[in-house]
C-alpha cells in the first residue's frame, strides 16, 4: 500500500525543513518591489536533487482541482477552522487556521490554494516546535477529518510540497556576481532565471493541477512584474508607450489579480494627482480646494490644510531666525558666545523641541 512509501518519504524532510521555511516565500520576496536584493540566489537545481526528492509521477491524479480555487461540487468533509484554545504551538493561540483540506462528495481531495495555505500554517511553527511535530499535526488533521482517499491524497501532496521546498533551496544557493549586482539588466536577467528554474522544479514535483492551484497566481504576477521591470528599463519607448505596454500586460493577469492591480494602479495615479495639487497650490486653502475636487473627504482636507499652515508658520519663523542669526554673526562676538546666541535664538523662535530639531536639520540642509 502507498502508505508505507508516504511515511518513508515524509520523514526524510524534517531535518532540512527549518532552513527551507526561511526561504519559502522566495518569489514573492524577489518581485515585491523593483529593487532586487543583490544576494538573491539564481542557481539551477540539479537534476539529481529534483529526481531524488520528487515523485516521478503525480500521486494524486484522482484528486480534483477546483477551477476557481474554491470548491468543486458539494463538500463531504473539511478540516476545522481552529485548533481550539490550546494549539500545539503558542504562536497559533487565538488564530484561525489558514486554508483548509476539503473532500468532495466522492471523497477526493479538492486541490486549491487553500491546501498550500493549510500546509504553510502548520509548517510556519517549525523552530517553535520540531518539524516532526508540525508534520504530525497535518497528518492528524487529514486522518481525523477527511475520508479515504482524500486523506491519502493530502498526505501525498504534503510529501511533494516538502520535496519542493527542499529542492528549491538550491535556487537560493548561488549569489549574484558582486561586480554586476548593481546592474538593473543583470538583476532582471537573474530574476527571470530564478522564476524559470522554480517553474521547472514545480512542474517536475507536482501534478499539473497541483502546480496551477498552488503557484498559478504567484507565477502570473511574477511574470507580470518581470515584464513591467523590463519595459521600464527600455530606452526606445516614450513614457506613454511604456504606460501602454504595462497596461496591456496588466490586462493579461488572471481576473482576481487584474482587479487588485488595477485598483493599486488607480490609487497610485490618484495619489500622484493629489501630491501634484498640494505642490502646485498657491496657498494651503487653495490646496484644500483642489484636494476636495479630487475626492478627498472633509476631514482629510482639513488635516492637510492645517498641516500646510503649520509648515507655512514654521518657514516664516525660520526665515526670521536666519535673519536674526545673520545680524548676530556680524556683531563681532567670539565663536563660543555666538553659539550661545544661536541657541538662545533657536529657543526664542522655536519654543517646541520638535520644531528646534527641524530647524537644526534645515540649517544643515541650507549649508
Summarised one tens digit per residue, pLDDT across range 117-136 is 999 999 999 999 999 999 99
Evaluate the omega torsion of the peptide bond into residue 149 and state whether it is cis, within 30 degrees of 0.
yes
The residue among 72, 75, 68, 157 whose CA lies nearest residue 118 is 157
The confidence score (pLDDT) of residue 332 equals 65
The residue among 249, 279, 286 whose CA lies nearest residue 265 is 249
The confidence score (pLDDT) of residue 175 equals 74
The confidence score (pLDDT) of residue 75 equals 61
Asked if residues 50 and 205 have their Cβ atoms less than 8 Å apart, the reply is yes
Q: How many angstroms separate the CA atoms of 285 and 283, rounded?
A: 5
Q: How many angstroms separate the CA atoms of 109 and 145, rounded?
A: 12
Q: How many angstroms separate the CA atoms of 175 and 181, rounded?
A: 9
The confidence score (pLDDT) of residue 158 equals 97
- HEC states along 24-45? CCHHHHHHCCCCCCCCCCCCCC
CB burial class (10 A; 0-12, 13-18, 19+) of residue 324? middle
How do the residues of the chain divide into helix, strand and coil, expressed in percent and rounded to 5? 65, 5, 30
Summarised one tens digit per residue, pLDDT across range 205-215 is 999 999 999 99
Low-confidence ranges of the chain (pLDDT < 70): 1-75, 174, 329-333, 365-367
Q: How many angstroms separate the CA atoms of 165 and 159, rounded?
A: 10
The confidence score (pLDDT) of residue 86 equals 92
Q: How many angstroms separate the CA atoms of 230 and 218, rounded?
A: 18
Q: Against a cut of 0.85, is the pTM above it? A: no
Amino acid at each position: 500500500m502507498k502508505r508505507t512509501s508516504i511515511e518513508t518519504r515524509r520523514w526524510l524532510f524534517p531535518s532540512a525543513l527549518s532552513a527551507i521555511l526561511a526561504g519559502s516565500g522566495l518569489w514573492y520576496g524577489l518581485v515585491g518591489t523593483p529593487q532586487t536584493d543583490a544576494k538573491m540566489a539564481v542557481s539551477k537545481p540539479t537534476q539529481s536533487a529534483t529526481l531524488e526528492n520528487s515523485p516521478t509521477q503525480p500521486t494524486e491524479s484522482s484528486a480534483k482541482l477546483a477551477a476557481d480555487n474554491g470548491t468543486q461540487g458539494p463538500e463531504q468533509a473539511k478540516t476545522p477552522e481552529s485548533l481550539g484554545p490550546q494549539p500545539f504551538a503558542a504562536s497559533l493561540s487565538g488564530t484561525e487556521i489558514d486554508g483548509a483540506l476539503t473532500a468532495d462528495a466522492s471523497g477526493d481531495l479538492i486541490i486549491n490554494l487553500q491546501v498550500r495555505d493549510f500546509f504553510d500554517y502548520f509548517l510556519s511553527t517549525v523552530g517553535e516546535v520540531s518539524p516532526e511535530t508540525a508534520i504530525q499535526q497535518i497528518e492528524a488533521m487529514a486522518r481525523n477529518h477527511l475520508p479515504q482517499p482524500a486523506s491519502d491524497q493530502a498526505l501525498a501532496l504534503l510529501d511533494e510540497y516538502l520535496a519542493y521546498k527542499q529542492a528549491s533551496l538550491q535556487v537560493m544557493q548561488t549569489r549574484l556576481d558582486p561586480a554586476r549586482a548593481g546592474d538593473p539588466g543583470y538583476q532582471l536577467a537573474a530574476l527571470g532565471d530564478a522564476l524559470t528554474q522554480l517553474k521547472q522544479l514545480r512542474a517536475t514535483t507536482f501534478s499539473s493541477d497541483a502546480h496551477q492551484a498552488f503557484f498559478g497566481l504567484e507565477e502570473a504576477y511574477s511574470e507580470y512584474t518581470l515584464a513591467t521591470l523590463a519595459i521600464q528599463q527600455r530606452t526606445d519607448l516614450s513614457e506613454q508607450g511604456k504606460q501602454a505596454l504595462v497596461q496591456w500586460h496588466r490586462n493579461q493577469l488572471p481576473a482576481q489579480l487584474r482587479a487588485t492591480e488595477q485598483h493599486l494602479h488607480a490609487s497610485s495615479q490618484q495619489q500622484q494627482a493629489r501630491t501634484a495639487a498640494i505642490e502646485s497650490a498657491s496657498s494651503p486653502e487653495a490646496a484644500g480646494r483642489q484636494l476636495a475636487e479630487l475626492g478627498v473627504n472633509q476631514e482629510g482636507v482639513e488635516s492637510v490644510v492645517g498641516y500646510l499652515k503649520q509648515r507655512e508658520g514654521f518657514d516664516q519663523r525660520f526665515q526670521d531666525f536666519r535673519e536674526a542669526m545673520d545680524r548676530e554673526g556680524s556683531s563681532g562676538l567670539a565663536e563660543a558666545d555666538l553659539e550661545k546666541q544661536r541657541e538662545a535664538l533657536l529657543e526664542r523662535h522655536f519654543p517646541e523641541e520638535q520644531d528646534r530639531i527641524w530647524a537644526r536639520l534645515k540649517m544643515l540642509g541650507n549649508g
